[in-house]
Chains A and B, each alone.
Chain A
Amino acid sequence: MRDFDYSAPTSVAEAVRLLNQSPGAGRPLAGGTDLIDQLRLGRHQPELVVDIKRIPELNVLELSSRGLRLGAAVPCSRIYSDAGIAQEYAALVDSARIIGGVQIQNRASVGGNLCNSGPAADSTPSLIALGARAVIAGPQGTREVPVEEFCTGPGKNVLHRGEVLVELRFPPRPANSGSHYRRFIPRNEMDIAVVSVGALVELDASGERIKSARIALGAVGPTPLFAREASSGLAGRSPTVETLTEAAQAAQAIATPIDDMRGTKEFRRHVTGVLVRRVLEECVQRARHPA
């Protein structure tokens, strides 16, 4: 591996200072499940690797009446081991359970998954569906960005050099709502999504009408996508097969998939429709019958 130095600061301010000390030459390290292989392959050539796992704010995992605070370095296994989070933010836990195998889940963070900004990242559609906001710290202070605006292209995002993602903030789960994430892969586990969908559906008190919805798609565009129109079109409707199928068609319309060894464009567009409908059905089920 190419040579670099290593530092493990214990505060956000110190991490930001280290990352900015020599511009462009510092790289944050969370679980390393993307980064260490990228270092080996020379895809990134930092002079300094800044291990952010010893910073308390990046290890926060706090569920309260104000919502959820998820520190950027918290590994997937800590997320899905928390029964409260599984109940309130089911889509996030669905994602955390399918990123790699157990060895990866013990290291991989949702923050790293987002910052790596792959189009098929398995947690990003759930973050978008759940309305999460990214809290970012840099030399100029902190700023917040809604997750649907975070990724700007394959491997690209809104982070400026020397900025770190500190945490993800989720609003409280709306009453009578359910969320779900699912991906299509040819195997049972350990694979990259061909298409993936995360969604949140909020019903009214009767459980018969949709109050609001958020649908997000993965692996069918240069970034994970928020299906804005498909989502807003569901408001006020009753969650029948016809309604959900209409939403699925609206979501298909924004997919711009590519052909690759995992699937053709046509196949991906078709699977997008099928998955959106199934994920919405599961959200409605979960909204009506909370675990």
Chain B
Amino acid sequence: MAKKRVVSTTINGKSIELLCEPRQTLLEVLRDNLDLTGTKEGCSNGNCGACTVLMNGRPVVSCLVLAMEAEGASLETIEGVAQGGDLDPIQQAFLENAALQCGICTPGFIMSTKALLTENPNPTEQEARFYLAGNLCRCTGYDKIIRAVLDSAQRRQAALAAERQHS
């Protein structure tokens, strides 16, 4: 067996060193080595988006990344989205718009939405649908998810405006 190797990386703001096998995917290491099971496995071939995490700020499917590739990277998973005990506005919007049923797709959708709103704080419905095309949901029929995404955008804008007023 190929030797296990040490990978230095940052996950949700914390620098860590991981011992992993070259053949392990980032998804496997997150779930099985680190117990970060919020990141879900759907297809394991890149099609469903359930395993989406942010790598250096950009969404990638962690089932198609080798853990070794995370050397020096900054990773963000669903576990890092809520701040302290407070849900992120995106999470709140998903809850209030009933944008999930079984919930397997939800962490992936939330990570992609986070990246979308960073790149494009005020997306149209069409832009949101295209951006999220790599995330599949077998339960909701997508409408409520898209409503939650557009609602999150408004919540974030409102939160930013409130912050600006206070400062």
Residues of A bordering B, CB below 8 Å: 1-6, 8, 29, 31-33, 36-37, 39-40, 49, 51, 53, 77, 100-104, 106-107, 188-190
**Closest B residue, CB atoms, query A190:** B133
User: Beyond A5-B2, A40-B44: 5 further Cβ-contacts under 8 Å?
Assistant: A3-B23, A5-B22, A37-B45, A49-B66, A190-B134
Instruction: Say whether A49 contacts B22, CB under 8 Å.
Output: yes
Instruction: Say whether A32 contacts B66, CB under 8 Å.
Output: yes
CA distance A224 to B24 in the complex (A): 34
Q: How large is the interface on B (under 10, 10 to 19, 20 to 34, 35 or more residues)?
A: 35 or more
Instruction: Say whether A104 contacts B61, CB under 8 Å.
Output: yes
Residues of chain B contacted by A53 (CB below 8 angstroms): 69
Residues of chain A contacted by B115 (CB below 8 angstroms): 102
Q: How far is the CB of B66 from chain A (nearest CB, A)?
A: 7
CA distance A166 to B132 in the complex (A): 32
Residues of chain B contacted by A36 (CB below 8 angstroms): 25, 46, 63-66
Q: How far is the CB of B95 from chain A (nearest CB, A)?
A: 24
Instruction: Decide: A37 near B46, CB < 8 A? Known: A4-B2, A32-B65, A102-B112.
Output: yes
1/0 per position for B97-134, CB-CB distance to A under 8 A? Answer: 00000000000000010010000000000000011111
Stretch from B29-37, B52-60, B145-153 forming part of the interface with A: B52-60
CA distance A189 to B128 in the complex (A): 13
Instruction: Say whether B58 contacts A106, CB under 8 Å.
Output: yes
Instruction: Say whether A3 contacts B1, CB under 8 Å.
Output: yes
Instruction: Say whether A103 contacts B60, CB under 8 Å.
Output: yes
Describe A's contact surface by its main secondary structure.
Answer: loop
Residues of chain B contacted by A188 (CB below 8 angstroms): 130, 133
A51, A77, A103, A190: which contacts B69 (Cβ < 8 A)? Answer: A51
CA distance A144 to B52 in the complex (A): 37
Instruction: Say whether A6 contacts B66, CB under 8 Å.
Output: yes
A32, A102, A104: which contacts B131 (Cβ < 8 A)? Answer: A102
Instruction: Say whether B59 contacts A4, CB under 8 Å.
Output: no
Tell me if B89 counts as interface (CB < 8 A to partner A).
no
CA distance A248 to B135 in the complex (A): 36
**Closest B residue, CB atoms, query A5:** B2
Q: Which 9 A-B pairs have the closest CB atoms?
A: A101-B134, A6-B22, A5-B2, A189-B133, A1-B23, A106-B58, A101-B133, A103-B61, A6-B68
Residues of chain A contacted by B64 (CB below 8 angstroms): 31-33, 36-37, 107
Instruction: Say whether A103 contacts B22, CB under 8 Å.
Output: no
CA distance A31 to B61 in the complex (A): 11
A4, A77, A100, A104: which contacts B22 (Cβ < 8 A)? Answer: A4
A6, A8, A51, A102: which contacts B59 (Cβ < 8 A)? Answer: A102
CA distance A6 to B6 in the complex (A): 12
